[in-house]
Amino acid sequence: MAEELKDKVYEYLSNHYYLNLATVSPQGRPMAHTMAYVSEGAVVYIVTNKNTRKVQNIMQNPYVAYTVDEDDPDWFEMQALQIEGKASIVTDENELREIGEILVAKFPVAADMPPDPDSIMIKIEPEVIYYLDYSIKFGYREQVNL
């Protein structure tokens, strides 16, 4: 069952486009950021401007949380992921290139965008994952062990 649940998480991540990223400011104030992302297994990557508040927050505190969910009004069909993890800035050229290819495959418009020297890639490695599926039972949530 554990492998099947991991596969559901990987598939869910690969079939969705946006996450809601939570960071904490140096003053201890929570912030939420809607971000496009790509994934490789349970690891997600986002691209953003290096001067954003989310980057400043991550530099002070790399622990983040995010959700990926459905926009469905039927409460009994809701599925979602709740993930807690650690963010880091990707600096390895090979990793940047590999994830860049995944990004363009998922978001073809990215291929037409001019290079931006202020853009950086953030990698979020999960530490805790919860899979929610209210079609099983209202309020159903299961922790995924990686």
CB contact burial 29-39 (16+ within 10 A = b; e otherwise): eeeebebebbb
Structural domains of the chain ordered from first start: 1-144 (2.30.110.10)
How would DSSP label each residue in 104-119? HHH-GGGGGSPP-TTE
Q: Mean pLDDT, to the nearest integer, of 113-141?
A: 94
CA separation for the pair 119, 57 (Å, rounded): 16
pLDDT tens column, 48-82:
999 999 999 999 999 999 999 988 889 999 999 99
pTM as predicted: 0.93
